[in-house]
Amino acid sequence: MLKFSHTPVLLDECIQGLNINPDGIYVDGTLGGAGHSKVIVSKLSDKGLLIGIDRDLDAIEAAKANLKEYQNVKYVHGNHDDIKNILNDLGVGQVDGILLDLGVSSFQLDEKSRGFSYIGENELDMRMDKTQKLTAKEVVNSYSEEKLANIIYEYGEERFSKIIARNICKSREIKAIETTGGLVKIIESSIPKSKQKDGHPAKRTFQAIRIEVNDELRPLYNTVRDSIDCLKKGGRLCIITFHSLEDRTVKQAYIDAVRQMYMPTGFTILYVQL
């Protein structure tokens, strides 16, 4: 099994925000290496329950190893976007707390063979769930120039999106783009050298393609609303975001829930953007 380590971000803030009831039911919708979950479950009694959800089977196997001393954990290979159906399938009604740590994990970035990183020469993959069909290679080699440009602009906030998309399409007419290194070269050649001072030039395009492959943003608004539905009175929802696209979507879901008096009495939210 691959080593799947996870250094949890904002751990103290999340644990404080969840205000854990020892006999309660908690959901870690982004289980990863169980960095957050290990602390959550350690605060539960034998009557409490932790439900860990992840799209990545490697993460689930690593979490099982990291949480092997605990018997009150249910593991689900799935997507937090489907949280209502997951809880229904488990026979669980509402829960006391939910944690979502959005975005790609450090392991997925570090494991170069997964194709998330723009460092090195690896296969274009970027799937969080390796059982799904759509890969970064398919996006790069089959999407139209217009669709690529829109994705790179909207999901990567890349000002040179049209040039990058145009050069991707020109390059793939000669030979399919199959590696991260090959894509990076195209991106670097598309952005003026004078504009490549703000981090790696491929960062925004890789983010955009990853978001498209894993459909990270489109369902997020409804995921937040569904998560609120799944909380008991007094329940807690903690969400960690990493970029402005997630930030805006989560904030809007919270704002709309408050405006529509959608929040259950006693409901508390913790929202933090890194």
Specify whether the CB–CB gap between 1 and 62 falls below 8 A.
yes
Say what the pLDDT of residue 269 is.
56
Determine the pLDDT at residue 262: 53
What are the pLDDT digits (tens) for 41-69? 999 999 999 999 999 999 999 999 999 99
Mean pLDDT of all residues in 196-217: 93
Cα separation of 170 and 215, whole Å?
A: 26
Strands 231-241 and 49-54: unpaired
35-42 and 11-18 helices, crossing angle to 10°? 40
Structure pTM? Answer: 0.88
| Residue 262 phi, psi dihedral angles, 5° rounding | -85, -20
User: Which amino acid would we find at residue 157?
Assistant: E
Q: For the segment 171-186, what is each residue's pLDDT rounded down to a tens digit?
A: 999 999 999 999 999 9
Per-residue pLDDT at 195: 84
Domains of the chain: 11-103+217-273 (3.40.50.150), 112-213 (1.10.150.170)
* Percentage of residues in the chain having pLDDT higher than 90: 78
Selection from 132, 130, 128 nearest residue 116 by Cα: 128
Residue among 206, 214, 199, 103 at smallest CA distance from 161: 206
Measured from the Cβ of residue 193, the count of other Cβ atoms closer than 10 Å reads 8
Mean pLDDT of 192-214: 92
What is the per-residue pLDDT for 1?
46
